[in-house]
Amino acid sequence: MDCIFCKITEGTIPSKKVFENERIVAFHDISPAAPVHILIIPKKHIPTMNDVTEEDGPLVAELFAAARQIAREQGIAESGYRLVNNVNQDGGQVVYHLHVHLLGGSKLSPILGEIKS
Ligand code: AMP
Ligand code: ZN
Q: Over the stretch 16-65, which tens digit does the pLDDT of each residue have?
A: 999 999 999 999 999 999 999 999 999 999 999 999 999 999 999 999 99
The confidence band for 112, taking pLDDT boundaries of 50, 70 and 90, is: confident
114 pLDDT higher than 80? no
pLDDT score at 116:
74
pLDDT score at 39:
98
47: Cα separation from own chain's centroid:
13
pLDDT score at 49:
98
The confidence band for 71, taking pLDDT boundaries of 50, 70 and 90, is: very high
Atom of ligand 1 nearest to the CA of 28: 21
Distance 79 CA to ligand 1 centre (A): 24
Range of the domain at 50: 4-104
Evaluate: CB of 14 within 6 angstroms of ligand 1.
no
* 32 in a structural domain: yes
Number of folded domains in the chain? 1
Q: List the one residue out of 30, 34, 33 whose CA is nearest residue 8.
A: 30
* 115 in a structural domain: no
Residues assigned a catalytic role: 99
Q: What is the CATH number of the domain that holds 79?
A: 3.30.428.10
The pLDDT mean for the chain works out to: 96
Evaluate: CB of 61 within 6 angstroms of ligand 1.
no
pTM above threshold 0.75? yes
Atom of ligand 1 nearest to the CA of 29: 22
97 pLDDT higher than 90? yes
Burial readout 58-87 (b: 16 or more C-beta within 10 A, e: otherwise): ebbebbeebbeebbeebebeeeebeebebe
